[in-house]
Structure 1
Amino acid sequence: MSTPPATPDPPRLERRLGVTDAVVIGLGSMIGAGIFAAFAPAARAAGSGLLVGLALAAVVAYCNATSSARLAARYPASGGTYVYGRERLGDFWGYLAGWGFVIGKTASCAAMALTAGAYAWPGHERPVAIAAALALTTVNYFGVQKAAWLTRAIVAVVLAVLAAVVAASFASGETDAARLEPGGDASVGGVLQAAGLLFFAFAGYARIATLGEEVRDPRRTIPRAIPLALGITLVVYAAVATAGLAVLGPAGLADATAPLADAVRRAGVPALAPVVRVGAAVAALGSLLALILGISRTTLAMARDHHLPHALAAVHPRFNVPHRAELAVGAAVVALVSFADLRGAIGFSSFGVLAYYAIANASAWTLTPAEGRPPRAVPVLGLVGCVLLAFSLPPASVALGAAVLAAGALVHLVRRTVNSR
């Protein structure tokens, strides 16, 4: 009796990214449109407790980053928590993490594209958003190294703009240290909601883990790149939030439609406002570029396991990228920007990503010391923090996020039932 031919291994991605590339991609995801857009709704929720909410979001993000880094070093493959949950907790939890990430972050792509459009050409944001989604999908199609080079340029521009905003704010006579002190308008529920909304901006370090199959020496590179990217981002966010509060105050920041542009006007440097608008558009493009990169890799991993159409698992023979997955993500973003709501997308994306990291922390808990397990308190605090922040988000975001996760769970259950017959 002849032996059936072995099933060929699926095509793999090429390892091209070093520590600097990985850090820059993480920065491009985290120091993006969120820093120009997320402070206003967060200040509306927390008032003068905004900095407390930022610190809480940073603590949860640190726990998530530590758990993700240890898991990524153990499982250096595309897919991030989809892979970790599958390997450590079982197929269902990996699938649920991947589902939440792909759906939530696709909505986040639409938010980033619309943000770029709103800053670049007010009143014509949807056509600009569609053009941006198509252009950046094309960049990703032609190789991850090209995407990393473009992200470096974007991060440099955004950091320069933010440095100018902070310098202008503190050099003006409008700053007031009293505005930085938490007052009676800072409720516990408001601070938690602000932390959940601000977590939207910190979540970009997931992009580093999802690129595990394209990173050189991933067991060394990823655990170094994730905390570096997160630490730099926290310093930048703290400086910008402090400057915004000191100049505008909690109420002014909460009511601002373009908080950083308003801050430089109040600081007496109105000529800097157009530069801020350009920086915001560039930042949104950087976030969109990195998001498409990360979502397509998770889609690739899920398609390899037939949780998504297997045709999406194809890797381009020349450019060595998951080209069909990237095209599918780009098409979904183009469709979403025709009706997506920017503020609602932030809350919905935060819920999906917090669920994703809750599964990452639960997975990290199961690691043994020989596998590089983090201190026990880290995944516990990360898991509890993710659940708490997720259910502190605006009720509409919680309801929609829970419904999407439930729909994904139902699809998985039906598929498993059908396949078992």
Structure 2
Amino acid sequence: MSAPSEKPKPELKRVLGLSSLVFYGVGMILGAGIYSIIGKAAGVAGHFLWLSFVIAGLTAGLTALSYAELSTMVPKAGAEYAFLSFAFPRKKWLATTSGLMMFFSAAATAAAVSLAFAGYLSHFLDLPQELTAMILLLGFTSLSIYGIQESSRLNVIFTLIEAFGLIVIIWLGVGSHFGRTIFSSPLASGVFSSAALVLFAFLGFENLVNFTEEAKQPVRDIPKAILLSLGLSTVLYILVSIAAVSLVDPADLAKSTAPLMDAAMTRSVVFGDLLGSIALFSTANTVLIALLAGSRILYGIAKGGDVPAIFARLHHKRHTPWIACLLAMAIALCLIPTGTVDVIASLASFATIISFILVNIAVICLRFSHPQQHRAFFIPLRIGRFPLLPALAVITCGYLILEFQKEVYGLMALFWILGLVLSFISNRHK
């Protein structure tokens, strides 16, 4: 009598094509910043807000190239964790803490943008903002557990709506002295500080790597999706930033809880209400994708054995990492009462910049340690084996990391220590 065969373990479903991945990338990037922190950034950079977006876009673009190359070498969920584990196999603590910081960044993004959603909704309904944000997190966590395909369909609809809203703002700006004010004042000293905050608006392209195990052809499509989504979003960002300061004085934008809605309101109440409605879709979309990406990061780390295996457990019917989804939601819920949108957004940006630096260093090291390994995407420009663009990315990220508020450094140092402790405990247990 033959022994019964083991029941195969459930795996993530490979259902995402290139178009779905691009929609995820654009949806995550657009909603993460323009509708939430553009007002705060305008208050720091003034009429040179567009320059902050250019600086942040270039910084993100350099690192996007590194993610594109590494995604073809290490096509696994977990992104930064998987990359650093491969590049530095004897320093697993570095991969684990970096991966956990990105997981925290995703949860912080969900928290910050859910507060932005509540801010826009308050213009239509008089509801407690913190409670609204929490209800949104609960609802979208349920959807992310239900299934990736269902989430993808909703994401496509929401992304089209939010992109339309940005085009409306650009159109309104063109009819209101578009671009005439961007050089009307001296260069603001806070342009780089604003760029550090604005980098939050570009977060999202790196999360595409976390859908590798759900992509139909990850090695071919992930690099394309990263570069396409970031390129499209950057162009829209620059045009919208010029339009926003053409419509409203930067100091007034900084005081607003719904900056793009107030910018549109200067032309017409109808346009203001339209932008407020669109902002609800945009911010909600970002919350959904942040929760999805965060759960996949933790899932990848758990599969690697560096956090408890329970976080790699998939729902037996839906094939989604449901326990990881619940933890991402729990952290986001805890962050809701701790600060305003810009403070929580700064936490997400700081964590991401640290990981960006490490990922770029990994690309440089792998050019020497694994020169013969096939790379379906190869970053151009090098001297011998030394890649120039990842080195430039390390320098630009290193500069931006000096531009945050003091409390951000303290909170992230605490989280880094917690990550080290968790990594140590997990490895001792193994």
**TM-score (normalizing by structure 1):** 0.91
Q: Which residue of 1 aligns with 2:227?
A: 227
Deviation at 1:339, TM superposition (A): 4.1
8 Å contact 2:119–2:258 — kept in the other structure? no
Q: Which residue of 1 aligns with 2:423?
A: 412
Q: 1:50 to 1:95 in 2, by over 3 A?
A: same
Q: Distance in 2 between matches of 1:51 and 1:219?
A: 34
The correspondence of residues 174-253 of structure 1 with structure 2, limited to 5 A, is 175=177, 177-181=179-183, 183-187=185-189, 190-253=190-253
Q: Distance in 2 between matches of 1:393 and 1:12?
A: 40
User: Do structure 1's residue 393 and structure 2's residue 404 form an aligned pair?
Assistant: yes
Q: Distance in 2 between matches of 1:250 and 1:126?
A: 26
8 Å contact 1:33–1:281 — kept in the other structure? no
Q: Which residue of 2 aligns with 1:4?
A: none
Helix, strand or coil for the counterpart of 2:181? helix
Deviation at 1:50, TM superposition (A): 1.7
The correspondence of residues 120-159 of structure 1 with structure 2, limited to 5 A, is 120-121=121-122, 122-159=126-163
Q: Which residue of 2 aligns with 1:374?
A: 379
User: Do structure 1's residue 291 and structure 2's residue 293 form an aligned pair?
Assistant: no
Number of equivalent positions: 409
Q: Which residue of 1 aligns with 2:117?
A: 116
8 Å contact 1:33–1:280 — kept in the other structure? no
8 Å contact 1:104–1:349 — kept in the other structure? yes
Q: Which residue of 2 aligns with 1:3?
A: none
Divergent runs of 4+, >4 A = 7-11, 413-416
Q: Where does structure 2 lack aligned partners over 5 or more consecutive residues?
A: 1-5, 381-386
Q: Distance in 1 between matches of 2:178 and 2:11?
A: 55
Q: Distance in 1 between matches of 2:417 and 2:326?
A: 26
CA RMSD of aligned residues (A): 2.2
Q: Distance in 2 between matches of 1:374 and 1:202?
A: 20
8 Å contact 2:35–2:116 — kept in the other structure? no
Q: 1:168 to 1:178 in 2, by over 3 A?
A: closer
Q: Distance in 2 between matches of 1:125 and 1:255?
A: 17
User: Do structure 1's residue 280 and structure 2's residue 291 form an aligned pair?
Assistant: no
Identity of aligned residues (%): 25
Q: Which residue of 1 aligns with 2:172?
A: 168
8 Å contact 1:79–1:300 — kept in the other structure? yes
Deviation digits for residues 262-300 of structure 1 (CA, Å, limit 9, x no counterpart): 21222x212211111111121111001100110000111
Deviation digits for residues 278-330 of structure 1 (CA, Å, limit 9, x no counterpart): 11121111001100110000111112233322111111232121122112222
Deviation digits for residues 101-137 of structure 1 (CA, Å, limit 9, x no counterpart): 1122212211111211221235421222122111111
Q: Which residue of 1 aligns with 2:384?
A: none
User: Do structure 1's residue 383 and structure 2's residue 394 form an aligned pair?
Assistant: yes
Q: 1:116 to 1:256 in 2, by over 3 A?
A: closer
8 Å contact 1:110–1:340 — kept in the other structure? no
Deviation at 1:333, TM superposition (A): 2.5
Deviation digits for residues 86-113 of structure 1 (CA, Å, limit 9, x no counterpart): 1112312211211111122212211111
- Which 10-residue stretch deviates more, 108-117 or 395-404? 395-404
Q: Distance in 2 between matches of 1:34 and 1:295?
A: 18
Deviation at 1:22, TM superposition (A): 0.5
Q: Distance in 2 between matches of 1:144 and 1:340?
A: 31
Q: Distance in 2 between matches of 1:395 and 1:44?
A: 19
Q: 1:177 to 1:340 in 2, by over 3 A?
A: closer
For 2:183, the aligned partner's letter is E
The correspondence of residues 221-370 of structure 1 with structure 2, limited to 5 A, is 221-266=221-266, 268-368=267-367, 370=372
Q: 1:214 to 1:196 in 2, by over 3 A?
A: same
Q: Distance in 1 between matches of 2:253 and 2:279?
A: 16
Helix, strand or coil for the counterpart of 1:222? helix
Helix, strand or coil for the counterpart of 1:37? coil
Q: 1:11 to 1:85 in 2, by over 3 A?
A: farther
Q: 1:362 to 1:256 in 2, by over 3 A?
A: same
8 Å contact 1:33–1:115 — kept in the other structure? no
Deviation at 1:256, TM superposition (A): 3.4
Q: Distance in 1 between matches of 2:379 and 2:307?
A: 32
Q: Distance in 2 between matches of 1:17 and 1:278?
A: 28
Deviation at 1:56, TM superposition (A): 0.9
